[in-house]
Amino acid sequence: MHTEAILCETFSIKEISCRILKPIVFPKPFYDSTMGPFSSYETTVLTLVDDSGFTGEIEYPVSCFPFFKKYLLPVLLESHNSSYPDIYKKMFWRIRNEGFRGEAARALGYLDRVFYDIASRRAGKPLHRYLGAERSWAMVYASGGSTALSDTELIEECLSYKEKGYSVIKIKAGGDFASHLQQDVKRIEKVRIALGNNIQLAVDLNQALTVDQARDFIEQIADLDIYWLEEPIHSADILGMSALTETTNMCLSFGESERLAHPFHLMLNAGIRHFQPVANSMISIAEFKAVCYLAASHGLMLSCGSFPNVNAQLIATLGEDAMCEYLIPYLKPMDPYFKVQPSVSNGKIILPEIEGISIRFDWDRIKKENMIRDSVVWKPKR
């Protein structure tokens, strides 16, 4: 993945706007092991207009917006014919006292993508081509399996993903803070039997278990051909990871909570064989690239959660085995509000060959349905 081109870019942002969309209510709330209910999809759209006439636009998490306004917006308003390394450096150190693992880091990571959107549009290339991709697709796996579903509903959902051509399916387990793990073992077994042996099944525990609970749980599902077990214990418990990998051959995955590459070196030493950096949540594409290089150089599995619409462009620059997650129950309700977005077919996400990031919002529909709850525009004083 080549990120060097943007290092030579300069920017003068002349307008910044943020439109907060009304929540899209889910037909049924979604739960995982340690959070829920997720009852609606909420997002904002951040737009930057450069003096060059090019625009960058991306979904921006509602939770990141306060950090954007406090720390990052002032840097944008001050930038004029500034190199991207200078702009990024100022933004990076503005969030120092918030730490580099939480929402402030994530706020910077999303903003980094907006600059890449502008830069790749200037170059007349889709973002994945700007980053050096030679193909226009990435592997994608179906993710869902809310812990609030009945066993019958869970099996029906998984079978629907199988019918759509997904070869890898991930479900949640450990609901209600791991209060019914015995039932979860039986539930996973039912799903495995229903899907058959030609579908890879992954299980996500969302950090709910202790090391002892995880060790026991792994032993009970050891014969169910689990592709990977995701975050069975707290994501910062490196010693716990080592304790688990020393006693099991099951592939364990971690990385969604990280915003920098440094912790992945600790995970490597702890025996983790599947890295899961979330591309748009990493503090920069450069940091994501560093994790990908580390994984590739040690022959590790790599997948990327969150928004496949954008992240697939980064995954397309990697080896063909790298994957994107598509959390279908959570993300699909937003589909009608895109005019252009990648398509999914038989376990692959196909990227449109449009300049910049691979989505275009359907602003006509958004406005027609009165979906904009609030909006704000900032312009620098020059």
**pLDDT tens digit string along 172-211?**
999 999 999 999 999 999 999 999 999 999 999 999 999 9
By percentage, how much of the chain surpasses pLDDT 70?
A: 99
The pTM for the full model equals: 0.96
* Distance from C-alpha of 18 to C-alpha of 173, rounded to nearest angstrom: 36
Cα atoms in the Cβ-side hemisphere of radius 13 Å centred on 105? 21
Q: What average pLDDT does the segment 334-341 reach? A: 97
Q: Within this chain, do residues 193 and 86 fall inside the same structural domain, yes or no?
A: no
Nearest CA among 262, 203, 213 for reference residue 238: 262
Token readout for 308 is: 């496949």
pLDDT 10s digits, 34-78: 999 999 999 999 999 999 999 999 999 999 999 999 999 999 999
How does pLDDT run across 97-113, given as a tens digit for each residue?
A: 999 999 999 999 999 99
Structural domain containing residue 60: 4-124+361-378
Range with lowest mean pLDDT among 4-8, 25-29, 72-76, 289-293: 4-8
Paired tokens of 10: 């300069």
Q: Which amino acid, one-letter code, is at 9?
A: E
Which CATH number is 174's domain given? 3.20.20.120
Same domain, 139 and 186: yes
- CA-CA distance, 165 to 343, in Å (whole number)? 13
| Pair (372, 264) in one structural domain | no
- For residues 232 and 347, membership in a common domain is answered with yes
Q: Are residues 238 and 295 in the same domain?
A: yes
Question: What sign does the CA torsion over 152, 158, 163, 167 have?
Answer: negative
Clarify whether residues 218 and 274 are in a common domain.
yes
Nearest CA to 338 among 133, 113, 58, 122?
Answer: 58
Split into its structural domains, the chain has a count of 2
Kindly state whether residues 95 and 194 are assigned to the same domain: no
> What's the CA gap between 116 and 285, in Å, rounded?
9
CATH number at residue 21: 3.30.390.10
104 and 87 share one domain = yes
pLDDT at residue number 306: 83
